[in-house]
Amino acid sequence: MGSDDRPKKIDRRDVLKGLSTLPALGLFGYAWQKQRAYQQTKVEEAAAAAQAPADLQVINIALLGAGAQGQVLTDSMLRIPGLRFRAVCDIWTEYNQKRVVNSLKRFKHEPNAYEDYREMLDKEKELDAVIVATPDFWHERHAVDCLKAGKHVYCEKEMSNTLEGARRMVAAQRQTGKLLQIGHQRRSNPRYLHCYNKLLKEAQLLGRIITVYGQWNRGVTPDLGAPDRYAIPQARLTQYGFKDMHQFRNWRWYRGKGGGPIVDLGSHQIDVYSWFLGANPSQVMASGGNLYYDPKTHEWYDTVMAVYDYDTPLGPAKASYSTQTTNGSQGYFENFMGDQGTLLISESEVNYAGQLYRDPNAPAWDEWVQKGYVTAPKEQATKATSDSGAVADVRESVAPDQHTVPVTLRDPYHQPHLQNFFDAVRGTATLNCPADEAYRTAVAVLRVNDAIESRAPLAFTPADFEV
Amino acid sequence: MEDMKLSRSAMIAITVLRVVVGWHFLYEGIAKLTSASWSAAGYMKASRGPFATFFHWIASQPHLLDQANLITMYGLTIVGVLLILGLFTRVAALGGLGLVMLFYLCNPPLVGYFYSIPSEGSYLIVNKNLVEVCALAVILLTRSGLFAGLDRIVRVLVFQRAQPARTAAA
Amino acid sequence: MSGGGAEGVYVEQPGDLRDVRRFAHEAMATVYEVYAVHADRRYAAQAAHACFDLVDRLERELSRFLPNSDVARINDLAAGDSTRVAPSTLECLVIARHIFELTGGAFDVSIGTGMPSLEFDTEESVVRATAEGVRIDLGGIGKGYAVDLMAELLEDWGLTAALVHGGFSSVLALDPPGTAEGWPLTLSDPREPSTVLERLSVRQTALGASGVRKRDHIVDPHTGTPVCGRRAAWVTVPRPRATAAQAERQYRAAAAAVTDALTTACMLLGRNEIDALCRNSPGVEAWILEDTELLHFGGAASELSERASGAERAGEAASEPRCRGVRGAKPLG
């Protein structure tokens, strides 16, 4: 046989060597258990986070105005934890009101439906806040009455279709001490906040902003209509200030109801002008006209071009704004142009989401790139160096480096601003667009229509912007 | 059979190799066993090698597919445990080698075939599966379990029991 | 002939009916159109405009190219994370999952990155990811879903004789115009649009079309490579009548969305699988264009058995799940 004929007993060496790899199994078991536990806690954490945390104070809210904008706000609010819809109020009971109530019921909210907002304020005992998304000419009544009934109010922009109305809203807010946030949602947009706080205030990347250009261009659209079968009876339309169904659906174009595109579209961006420039305008001149649509159904200007003068802390500046509803070329954006750089930004996450250009003569932005305030430039300008160390090749003009804003909004556009409002209701934040701040924008915007009429520059005094 | 005459450090290295490969098998097996809905169907349906028809066919027969899934899940797990412990190493190594060979043949990175099960790395004929096949071959041929593994104990016990019969016969 | 279609679907201009209004709108990288019958063109235009607003809203929720859309957020979820999405998004996902299971994974909005690892909470409208790396693309099914919602909206406005489509790959015919039996559609080879392969007259039916154009665009989720050989697929699904449950918005008929998904799947499924699918779903019909052969599944039973035996005679393998490149065939793309 072989050399292993001798009977062999197990000795300690054998046992030791034999079991030497057993601990590996033990280690495996331990590692595996840890991983399972980790996965389990992640799943549990996610499940727990999905429900509103127990200590998050639930805010009872009512939606006043269930039209297009009200629905957009509701979509956002359904994603914010800790809210309970108690009521939906809209005069179009046959259509919009019913649709929104049904969509809320899907999410276990049990809102009561109202046509008359006063009845809602009377009957709803557990209401903390009201979201107002009714036509501009109703904003004052709705907001003031809700504030006086002890509710916090989030009111869509424009504050009102008249400055007197807007002033009364500010007064009511001061008198009642409740919160009144106006819906200029860019004030809470993380990209805009980043640009304002980090790029303009802290880094002063653009140097001194001297000119601003902004626009909102939109193509031709037919008037809004309504399904025949859901038409509102004329009596009800009259009761709430509408001449007919067409005016009910297209109130924005009518005098006394809305302010036309300069207010619908422009007010957001002109608000950003004042915000970023850190000043109110000293003058506005504007030209506008009803160039295209039927003046019988479009009483306001479908095309407006306005130029503002500002005395900013860093020096004078001019800002032009243009809006048209006959062609959508290049959509909407704001372009801030300073002596050291340019900021091109819009609310859209896709178009003009935030591009910055450094003027070639400006100091390098390396420090800010490293801090993460702006991304590294897309194309490095080729720097030609000669042997003597001289810097630039003067024959070629150097293209400016393009940086982008490294902030993305992941949620629907109105969500951060609504979240800010509800945080303020809970006392954990301050409003980003309180009424007195929004009033200044209302002045700058509503007066454009006056400027168009008067065909002359309209001067502002600082007192104009204070209530 | 004689022990391979490899140096002690070589044998230690091969033992480590064996444990590591066993660990990999064990985790692969357990992960599939504990996941809610793992099936080899995806991998097999993605087959684009010379044996594609065969794997497609298996994947499309529910009965065969079930068996393939069971063999894979339990095979990986058992081979993994045995390799870590060094128990029945040759059988385990052979079984593991066969399994991984099947995986390799199902989706070999041969020139001219492209597929995209999301995978990392760049492979040309040789991929991780083939490397593991070779590692198992080394484990198999060096009988690593006998050096440092339960096989060592088993072999002694088996010999002890065999001995009385032989002396009696002799 | 009117209309166009890289997918090989055309709407024939119905006679001389002046009351058929056509409106178009670009969204989701395609052109949506509404054909509606109404004496008042302005009213029809307003209804169509309302439909296009709806499509724009859906695009904001479903497009994976918008960083703040529901789908973009889902694609960013880490294992264990969840996000609330719009109910319409969730409905699309539920339909996508259903067809995923129905077709054995041939229709996969996650293109192999892990559709089963998403969990849906329909009550809370929340999507939870149980694994990392899932990437979904609701482009295909989203078009059909938009078409479904547009059709419902048109009915709300009283425009019941209408046809809606998204790029002609998702078509939903409601009631036909005038006294016609149905909306006249033709199917033709995407590479030879002038040749009519089949004429259909449809009402209350959804039609999906998937085809190979200059570039292959259907990706087989199991291999990740583009499909070849099969050139076009069309599927029709009858549109269920509105039920009381739908009135409560608990459940919405989504014929076009389902059809969209099935059509994409039919570009990948084997003939027998398509046959089985049509047999198990009454009313569903499918047409497959392979090379020069047009196969028809569903519909009349006699036609079906003829096709099936024809396939056997052709010596096809018992289950040929994928279309593979023919040796020496033209390169992909």
**Amino acid type, B78:** I
Query: Touching C: which chains, 3+ CB pairs < 8 A?
Result: A, B
Give C85 to chain A, closest Cα distance, Å: 8
CB–CB contact C249 A43 (8 Å)? no
The answer to whether C186 touches C198, Cβ cutoff 8 Å, is: yes
Instruction: Please give the helix or strand (H or E) that residue C73 lies within, else none.
Output: helix C70-75
- In chain B, residues with a C-beta closer than 8 Å to the C-beta of C317 are 53
Q: Three-state secondary structure along A3-63?
A: HHHCCCCCCHHHHHHHHCCHHHHHHHHHHHHHHHHHHHHHHHHHHHHHCCCCCCCCEEEEE
Residue identified by tokens 């000043």 is A279
The conformation of residue A231, written as its DSSP 8-state character, comes to P
CA A102, A103, A106, A110 dihedral sign is negative
Residue identified by tokens 């919009």 is A96
Residue identified by tokens 């699988």 is C273
Q: Domain span at residue C105?
A: 60-139
Q: In the numeric block, which tokens belong to residue A70?
A: 């009200």
SS3 A322: strand
Q: Report yes or no: B113 at the C interface, CB cutoff 8 Å.
A: no
Q: Report yes or no: A294 at the C interface, CB cutoff 8 Å.
A: no
Residue C316: predicted pLDDT = 37
Query: How do beta strands A83-89 and A112-114 pair?
Result: parallel
Residue C229 lies in a domain: no
CB–CB contact A222 C49 (8 Å)? yes
Q: Report yes or no: A94 at the C interface, CB cutoff 8 Å.
A: no
Q: In the numeric block, which tokens belong to residue A120?
A: 């809602």
CB–CB contact B46 C116 (8 Å)? no
Cα Rg of chain A, angstroms: 30
> In this complex, which of C133, C222, C319 lies closest to B46 when CB atoms are compared?
C222
Tally C-beta pairs within 8 A across A and C. 79
Residue C125 lies in a domain: yes
Q: Report yes or no: B74 at the C interface, CB cutoff 8 Å.
A: no
Residue A65: predicted pLDDT = 97
Chain A residue with minimum CA distance to B81? A25
A144: closest CA among A107, A184, A117, A106? A117
Q: In the numeric block, which tokens belong to residue A176?
A: 């009642």
Beta bridge partners of B126: B124
Residue C323: predicted pLDDT = 30
- Taking 50 as the pLDDT cut, the residues of chain C under it are 1-5, 16, 214-216, 244-251, 301-333
Half-sphere exposure of B28 (CA within 13 A, CB side): 22
Chain A residue with minimum CA distance to C63? A350
| B31 pLDDT tier (thresholds 50, 70, 90) | confident
The answer to whether A156 touches A183, Cβ cutoff 8 Å, is: yes
CB–CB contact B118 C223 (8 Å)? no
- In chain B, residues with a C-beta closer than 8 Å to the C-beta of C223 are 46, 48, 115-116
- d(Cα A149, Cα A167) in Å, to the nearest integer? 18
The conformation of residue C294, written as its DSSP 8-state character, comes to E
- d(Cα A201, Cα A195) in Å, to the nearest integer? 8
pLDDT at B144 over 70: yes
- In chain B, residues with a C-beta closer than 8 Å to the C-beta of A2 are 2
Residues in chain B: 170
Chain C residue with minimum CA distance to A221? C49
Residue C174 lies in a domain: no
Residue C247 lies in a domain: no
Longest dimension (CA), chain C: 59
pLDDT digits (tens, 9 = 90+) for C73-96: 999 898 888 899 998 999 999 999
Residue C276: predicted pLDDT = 87
Q: Three-state secondary structure along C200-264?
A: EEECCEEEEEEECCCCCCCECCCCCCECCCEEEEEEEEECCCCCHHHHCCCCCCCHHHHHHHHHH
Q: Report yes or no: B114 at the C interface, CB cutoff 8 Å.
A: yes
Q: Where are the alpha helices (DSSP H) in B35-149?
A: 41-45, 52-60, 62-85, 89-106, 128-142, 144-147
CB–CB contact B114 C133 (8 Å)? no
CB–CB contact B115 C322 (8 Å)? no
Q: In the numeric block, which tokens belong to residue A172?
A: 């009511």
B117: closest CA among B43, B36, B9? B43
CB neighbours of residue C319 within 10 Å:
15
- d(Cα C217, Cα C207) in Å, to the nearest integer? 19
For the ranges B48-52, B65-69, C39-43, C270-274, the lowest mean pLDDT is seen at B48-52
CB–CB contact B115 C224 (8 Å)? yes
Sheet containing strand C196-202, edge to edge, reads: C9-11, C183-188, C196-202
SS3 C165: strand
> In this complex, which of C116, C133, C225 lies closest to B115 when CB atoms are compared?
C225
Give B46 to chain C, closest Cα distance, Å: 5
Residue identified by tokens 């922009």 is A157
**Would you call the peptide bond into A158 cis, given omega within 30 degrees of 0 as the criterion?**
yes
- d(Cα A181, Cα A301) in Å, to the nearest integer? 28
Give C1 to chain B, closest Cα distance, Å: 42
> In this complex, which of B151, B160, B166 lies closest to A9 when CB atoms are compared?
B160
Q: In the numeric block, which tokens belong to residue A354?
A: 């935030």
Number of domains in chain C: 1
pLDDT at B48 over 80: no
Output the CA angle A411-C255-C153, nearest 5 degrees.
65
Torsions phi, psi of A370, nearest 5?
-70, -35
> In this complex, which of C45, C158, C248 lies closest to A227 when CB atoms are compared?
C158
Chain C residue with minimum CA distance to B48? C223
Residue C226: predicted pLDDT = 60
- Among C100, C222, C316, most B C-beta atoms within 10 A, so best to mutate, is C222
Task: Report how far Cα C68 is from the mean position of its chain's Cα atoms.
Answer: 25
Residue C106 lies in a domain: yes
- d(Cα A131, Cα C331) in Å, to the nearest integer? 59
The mean pLDDT value of chain B amounts to 81
Query: Touching B: which chains, 3+ CB pairs < 8 A?
Result: A, C
- In chain C, residues with a C-beta closer than 8 Å to the C-beta of A413 are 68
- d(Cα A336, Cα A344) in Å, to the nearest integer? 6
- d(Cα A283, Cα A457) in Å, to the nearest integer? 7
Q: In the numeric block, which tokens belong to residue B8?
A: 């002690």
* 0.95 exceeded by pTM: no
Chain C residue with minimum CA distance to A224? C46
Which residues make Cβ contacts (< 8 Å) with residue A402, sequence separation at least 6? A355, A356, A357, A377, A378, A379
The answer to whether C7 touches C209, Cβ cutoff 8 Å, is: yes
Residue C96 lies in a domain: yes
Query: Could you give the C-alpha distances from A371 to A169, A229, A353, in angstroms and in order?
Result: 42, 59, 20
Tally C-beta pairs within 8 A across A and B. 59
Q: What are the average pLDDT values for consecutive 10-residue runs of chain A, which has 467 residues? A: 53 82 89 86 68 74 97 94 95 95 89 97 96 97 97 96 96 97 97 96 95 96 94 96 96 96 96 97 96 95 97 96 96 96 93 90 89 80 45 58 90 96 95 97 97 96 95
Give C257 to chain B, closest Cα distance, Å: 25
Which residues make Cβ contacts (< 8 Å) with residue A53, sequence separation at least 6? A81, A82
Give the residue numbers in B contacting A (CB under 8 Å), as ranges. 2, 15, 18-19, 22-23, 26-27, 30, 81, 84-86, 147-153, 156-157, 159-160, 163, 166-167
CB–CB contact B116 C222 (8 Å)? no
- In chain A, residues with a C-beta closer than 8 Å to the C-beta of C72 are 410
Residue C253 lies in a domain: no
Residue A340: predicted pLDDT = 95
Q: Where are the alpha helices (DSSP H) in A187-280?
A: 190-194, 234-239, 245-249, 261-264, 266-277
Give C327 to chain A, closest Cα distance, Å: 43
- Which CATH number do you get for residue C72? 1.10.3980
Q: Report yes or no: A145 at the C interface, CB cutoff 8 Å.
A: no
A311: closest CA among A283, A279, A271? A279
The answer to whether A102 touches C249, Cβ cutoff 8 Å, is: yes
- Among B152, B157, B161, B167, most A C-beta atoms within 10 A, so best to mutate, is B152
pLDDT digits (tens, 9 = 90+) for B77-98: 999 999 999 889 999 999 999 9
Residue identified by tokens 């002033």 is A167
CB–CB contact B118 C222 (8 Å)? no
Residue C188 lies in a domain: no
Q: Report yes or no: B32 at the C interface, CB cutoff 8 Å.
A: no
Q: Report yes or no: B56 at the C interface, CB cutoff 8 Å.
A: yes
CB–CB contact A102 C248 (8 Å)? yes
Residue B164: predicted pLDDT = 60
A355: closest CA among A382, A327, A374? A374
CB–CB contact C225 B114 (8 Å)? yes
- d(Cα C95, Cα C86) in Å, to the nearest integer? 15
| B117 pLDDT tier (thresholds 50, 70, 90) | very low
